[in-house]
Chains A and B, each alone.
Chain A
């Protein structure tokens, strides 16, 4: 017998199921009032520094059908690239939110500030992006992806440069549709499948 490791293994994931909203966004599920303060309404508070933007999109399955029950969380730094908890971070940016698809149309909207760029420990710079963690019925382990921006310089981003099939990079880039407005559609599978991450 070899020596025993002191480490543990992460608990296995299971699908969030169709009723994920009960536990995460109770008001959406019809349980409004069970908590005095729900969490995740918005990643920003009044007075957040930087450009306020709105991103709209959908989440579609392999057949192109838009999910009505998709829920994802977002995490991002403030306009200067500092995460909540970092020294000097904007106190009006929590950086975290929960986004639900509309139960009728499946469309979702995220209002936030455009994040700043961030630096890796080896010195390379990441282009501005918002991290996404998507869960729903039928998704057995949460799907990680990122929202980058068409009007930023993404050419040296370490993650985007790892994607071999260059046209796929496009699936991670929000398109500008107006002043401070962007479009970002997520496709879990099928044509133009979104790039998902294992980070």
Chain B
């Protein structure tokens, strides 16, 4: 049976601020009036589920999925792996994770990306997988390159992988980014800086994980993701007259 208790309200102190002038696009794309807060309802406590039948065998292998296994992508081979947990410290099993990223030169395969670093004919740039019963997931990919973008005069994104996670409730929906340990561009990035608490930003920086690296094959980075949890108390108050 699925747990349909109310979701724990979001702690927005830990999240990025919506309006952050150094990230110029956020200025016109952030609400100026307060959000309406309310206890979660069935609309947020339920959510879509995805079965393994939708997925192909190479969907979580970005080194091979673009060419259907014919030729590997260029770049530093990396295993990205970790667990999806909720705020109750329980694994989130059978949930869909999608990732997307630039190639080793920092170029995205997208109609809108015109950076002159070349496309890699053997690299698409997206992958997806479903967590196992312990909430574990893994992707094999290449380390994405840093890339320049129009913002302030000379702006570069640190190496990063975009991640989308579903959980089991629409109110748990989350998109975030994974950064790589030791990248000096993290401290210069206004998008990373939208998270005002350094200790929170550090939670998005994946450590090098030599215990999971495979000799002569790939390095590994560990990245755990925490989704909203559910209130566990049993006492419920009813509205007057209900």
Contacts and interface: CB of A to CB of B under 8 A. Distances in A.
Contact of B227 (A11, A118, A144): A11
Interface SS, A side: loop
Contacts of A129: 43
B176 interface: yes
| Interface residue tally on A, bucketed by range | 35 or more
B29 A11 contact: no
The B interface is mostly helix, strand or loop, or mixed, namely loop
B175 A85 contact: no
A83 interface: yes
Contacts of A135: 175
A18 B17 CA distance: 18
A131 B110 contact: no
Interface string B106-134: 00111111000000000011101000000
B194 A14 contact: yes
Interface string A61-89: 11101010100010111000001111000
A84 B170 contact: no
A37 to B, nearest CB: 5
B58 to A, nearest CB: 9
B226 interface: yes
Q: Which 4 A-B residue pairings sit nearest by Cβ, starting from the closest?
A: A23-B100, A138-B25, A138-B29, A96-B48
Contacts of A110: none
Interface string B15-46: 11110100101111111110111111111101
Contacts of A137: 25, 29
Contacts of B29: 61-62, 67, 136-139, 188-189
